[in-house]
Amino acid sequence: MDGPYKQDFHVRNLPTRSVTLFPTRAQIVREIKQVSLKPGSNEITVVGVTPTADEHSIKVEGTGSATITDISVELLPNRDIFQEIYPDSDSEQDEDESEEDDDDQEKANVAIEEVREKLAALKDEQKAAKEIIASAESRLKIIDSYSNSLHPRDGVDIEASVETYRKEREKVFRDHVDGTARERAVAKEIATLQREATRLDKLQAKEKKKAAKEKAKIWKAKEKLREKQRRRDDEQKKEKLRIRKEREQFWPRSCYSVRITLDAGANFTPGSSRRSSIASAADVQVASKYPKDDEASMICDLTISYVTSSAFWAPSYDLSLSSTTNTATLSFDARLTNMTSETWANSKVTLSTSQANFSGLQDDTPTLVPWRLKVVGKGGPWDGQDIAHSHEERNEKNVWNAQQNAMVAQRPRAGLFGLGQAQPMQQQMQQQMQQLNHVMASHKAPVPPQAQNVDFGMRTFFASGSNANAISNTVAHTDNIQTESAFGRAAPQSRPAPAASLFGGAARQVGPAATGGLFGGAAPRSTGFAQPSTVNPTAFGRSQTEEVSTANEEYSAPGANNPDDFDAQTMLEPIPELTFQDSSFEETGLTATYDLPHTKTLKPSPTPSKQRVARVSFTNVTFSRTVVAKYKPAAYLRARLRNTSKLTLLRGPTGLTLDGTFLGRSTLPRCSAGDGFHVPLGVDPAIRVSYPKPDVARSTTGVFTKGENSVYTRTVTLVNTRAAAGKAVGVTVLDQVPVPEDEKIRVDVLQPAGLGASGGGKVVAAGMPGREGKEELDWGKATASLKKAGEVQWEVSLNAGRSVKLVLQYEVAFPTGERVAQVY
């Protein structure tokens, strides 16, 4: 053969065996099955590999009677034509607006035409009658003129002439009378027909007016339909343009081409043609007994695998808690992101918690350098420096931090994706993408800016984080970036995240008790793994049982409230709920993997898709309340949960729902199996806290009889506003007394009595009714203890509808003439 037998395969036509998603990257395995090889050298080229792939991670393996002799990878321009791969569906059938052109020349009214024809005929008859009358009059004049011209001298016979005159005049008269009668009759008929014509004209005008209105109405309706169709066409064009722009974002300007050279020799058995195979001499001898035809083809199967940093997954949770049953349900979802140029169709998807980041392999174990000190004089370059850290420590920490934040080296996406030339605005976008990649490459869980603190008990809304947050929102949410996309075209903008509920008072539940909704429900979309922040308060003070029952009545049988229909109600089947198929879980060492059920297709998209991983149930959830009235007069609610499942919960954003009321977004900390974690739930408005100004009084007794002795009294009042039928709640109240740093100052705790002057862990009874009345005596119980650093802690069990007053009184004594100030 003159050259190797060449075959080309495009990666889009190759089936995807598996996709393994990591928190910062993904590994893809594609198959090339039943590859026909000719004896001798064969060259197989796989084109279209995403330009975001790590060229050093591309591996080729296979089975068959051939030997892989060479693999080369190079980045080449994309030779595909965008319009051929994504043809414009411009074959839109032009709407044949064969609108029936209404004939403006309407057909004449038949009745009117008949009347008009009759009128014309009658008018002709009228003219004929008038002509007869005129003729009679003219003949009469002629006869009269002739009779006047007769004279006896002319020998005229008068008698005969008179008789002739009489006869002729009689004929003329009869003609005149007939003509007059005919003209009168015709005139009468004409008048009748004219009235009929007038009536018909009015009727026709009325019909024309009515027809014009109907025509205008029909035209208006058709115009509405045309306008509606135009709007639909505009929306379709916009949608096509959006899809085109989205496709352009992931249209590669260049792709990796993998060229594989195989040697399909005819003198070796299939077992000995593979590098990893071991064949005996007997096998070779048996094969040599059956010579093969040089033109016979052989079959082999190849797999090509590679790693890309433009695909990854991130956890997302939805936690629904119940304070009545002390239970919780956690929906564990995975947000899958594919920002490569490839579509992985019908592939097995596996999620792995491994960071797949082995930074530091090129470095040796650090060696401690001696840390030497010397005494130097004041002033000079050493001012402002301490000896808490050595120079080597600072330098090594800076290098270590830079390594941890180092991203995988990538070419600018603006130069890899899009149509036409890269635009200048994309340079700024590329910098933002690099920042995101910095965060993704970190070996630690990505941590965005902390959630903004809010004033509790006030009208505050939660908003989503910035678009620079990392994996929790996944880089797919770069649609929040409103500048031009780094992929060649402007990325579609996303709508602002919906605001959370209005907090600070009792929230009214208008629907059935929510469990968090589908994949987080109406929670505002979080854009990062925010630090746990205190969530705004919601309605804890009102029992949710009645409201949930009311909501559930919507799903009851029609005759649920009628005792006579009880039998019919019991015969009805309950409405089944939609469920999700959980993923299989396996934990090996420090890595956990989740195999998603069934095969999935992951298309390039700036928006991540969600997949249910697992659903975890918690029991014995502990709700606690903490009051630090000195700083904020509010009771902060917190839930403690223990992970009794086998899953390791990764750090990620979570939606919080308490007793069917959505609270907002928070962050779930990493929690291993068997460990516990806390979830802040904001302020409990059912616990009212008051903390008035301190009372200061001078004391005549004390350590220093001639010194300054002052007694300070602070009072914390708690009111449990829940209904009297509710259960008691536990509240931890924290306050403090000053801690002297000078032996001349002495601080003694007077109330609660028995605590002493230093924290010894002693627990004493404390508290008194916060209001007057016999029923207030049964307010509950409380104990107080003095911790180190002057912290006073009360553990209060406060009954529903009751109040308690906690008094802290302490004495500060110091010599006269001295002044006491806080040490910073």
pLDDT digits (tens, 9 = 90+) for 174-207: 888 888 888 888 888 888 888 888 888 888 888 8
- Is residue 759 in a domain? yes
- Is residue 561 in a domain? no
The answer on 800 and 727 residing in a single domain is: yes
The answer on 795 and 779 residing in a single domain is: yes
Can you name the residues that pair with 626 across neighbouring β-strands? 636, 732
The pairing of strands 254-264 and 40-49 is antiparallel
- Is residue 636 in a domain? yes
The answer on 157 and 228 residing in a single domain is: yes
Tell me, what's the pLDDT at 748?
A: 86
Assigned token pair, 231: 């709007």
Provide the pLDDT confidence category of residue 314 given band limits of 50, 70 and 90: very high
The answer on 239 and 115 residing in a single domain is: yes
Contact by Cβ (8 Å): 32, 299: no
Percent of the residues in the chain that have a pLDDT greater than 90, as a whole number: 26
What average pLDDT is seen over the chain? 73
Question: Number of folded domains in the chain?
Answer: 3
Contact by Cβ (8 Å): 24, 232: no
Task: Identify the DSSP state of 408.
Answer: P
Give 238-275 pLDDT, tens digit per residue.
999 999 888 888 899 899 999 999 988 754 444 444 44
Is the pLDDT at 592 greater than 80? The verdict is no
- Is residue 781 in a domain? yes
| Residue-range definition of the domain harbouring residue 332 | 312-339+603-683
- Is residue 321 in a domain? yes
Is the pLDDT at 294 greater than 50? The verdict is no
Provide the pLDDT confidence category of residue 453 given band limits of 50, 70 and 90: very low
The answer on 648 and 720 residing in a single domain is: no
The answer on 643 and 730 residing in a single domain is: no
Is the pLDDT at 470 greater than 90? The verdict is no
- Min mean pLDDT across 15-24, 54-63, 281-290, 678-687 is at 281-290
The answer on 692 and 675 residing in a single domain is: no
CA distances for 164 relative to 138, 151, 171, angstroms: 17, 15, 11
- Min mean pLDDT across 54-68, 81-95, 422-436, 748-762 is at 422-436
Provide the pLDDT confidence category of residue 759 given band limits of 50, 70 and 90: low
Domain boundary among the residues 651, 683, 715 is at 683
Closest CA to 425 of 492, 488, 340: 488
The answer on 809 and 713 residing in a single domain is: yes
Domain boundary among the residues 683, 703, 727 is at 683
Is the pLDDT at 310 greater than 80? The verdict is yes
Give 211-245 pLDDT, tens digit per residue.
899 999 999 999 999 999 999 999 999 999 999 88
Q: Which is more confident, 391 or 688?
A: 688
User: pTM for this structure?
Assistant: 0.61
Q: How far is the C-alpha of 594 from the C-alpha of 613, rounded, in Å?
A: 7
Q: What is the mean pLDDT of residues 60-76?
A: 90
Tell me, what's the pLDDT at 544?
A: 35
Q: How far is the C-alpha of 733 from the C-alpha of 728, rounded, in Å?
A: 15
Q: Which is more confident, 507 or 404?
A: 404
Provide the pLDDT confidence category of residue 415 given band limits of 50, 70 and 90: low
Q: How far is the C-alpha of 529 from the C-alpha of 652, rounded, in Å?
A: 5
Provide the pLDDT confidence category of residue 575 given band limits of 50, 70 and 90: low
- Give residue 243's Cα distance to chain centre: 17
Q: How far is the C-alpha of 210 from the C-alpha of 432, rounded, in Å?
A: 67
Q: Which is more confident, 465 or 349?
A: 349
Spell 19-47 as b/e; 16+ CB within 10 A means b.
bbbbbbbbbbbbebeebebbbebbebebb
| 464 contacts: CB under 8 Å, gap ≥ 6 | 480, 496, 497, 524, 525, 526, 527
The answer on 238 and 115 residing in a single domain is: yes
Spell 195-226 as b/e; 16+ CB within 10 A means b.
ebbeebeeeeeeeeeeeeeeeeeeeeeeeeee
Closest CA to 435 of 463, 407, 462, 474: 407
Give 110-150 pLDDT, tens digit per residue.
777 888 888 888 888 888 888 888 888 888 888 788 777 77
Contact by Cβ (8 Å): 535, 682: yes
Tell me, what's the pLDDT at 462?
A: 31
Provide the pLDDT confidence category of residue 744 given band limits of 50, 70 and 90: confident
Q: What is the mean pLDDT of residues 618-636?
A: 91
Tell me, what's the pLDDT at 478?
A: 35
Tell me, what's the pLDDT at 559?
A: 38
Tell me, what's the pLDDT at 732?
A: 93
Tell me, what's the pLDDT at 283?
A: 40
Contact by Cβ (8 Å): 717, 689: yes
Half-sphere exposure of residue 553, counting CA atoms within 13 Å on the CB side?
Answer: 10
Give 492-518 pLDDT, tens digit per residue.
333 333 333 333 333 333 333 333 333
Helices 110-149, 158-249: crossing angle, 10 deg rounding: 160
Q: Which is more confident, 153 or 32?
A: 32
Q: How far is the C-alpha of 190 from the C-alpha of 126, rounded, in Å?
A: 9
Is the pLDDT at 715 greater than 80? The verdict is yes
The answer on 691 and 630 residing in a single domain is: no
Domain boundary among the residues 203, 224, 250 is at 250
Is the pLDDT at 302 greater than 90? The verdict is yes
- Min mean pLDDT across 19-28, 575-584, 603-612 is at 575-584
- Min mean pLDDT across 95-109, 207-221, 736-750, 751-765 is at 95-109
Closest CA to 606 of 351, 340, 241, 238: 340
The answer on 215 and 133 residing in a single domain is: yes
- Helix (H) and strand (E) counts in the chain: 9, 30
The answer on 152 and 221 residing in a single domain is: yes
Q: How far is the C-alpha of 134 from the C-alpha of 670, rounded, in Å?
A: 125
Give 776-817 pLDDT, tens digit per residue.
888 889 999 888 888 899 999 988 888 999 999 888 888 887
Task: Identify the DSSP state of 278.
Answer: -
Phi and psi at residue 512, to the nearest 5°: -65, 155
Please state the three-class secondary structure of 458-471 as a single string: CCCCCCCCCCCCCC
- Is residue 617 in a domain? yes
Map tokens 């000719």 to a residue: 38
- Is residue 415 in a domain? no
- Is residue 667 in a domain? yes
Is the pLDDT at 320 greater than 90? The verdict is yes
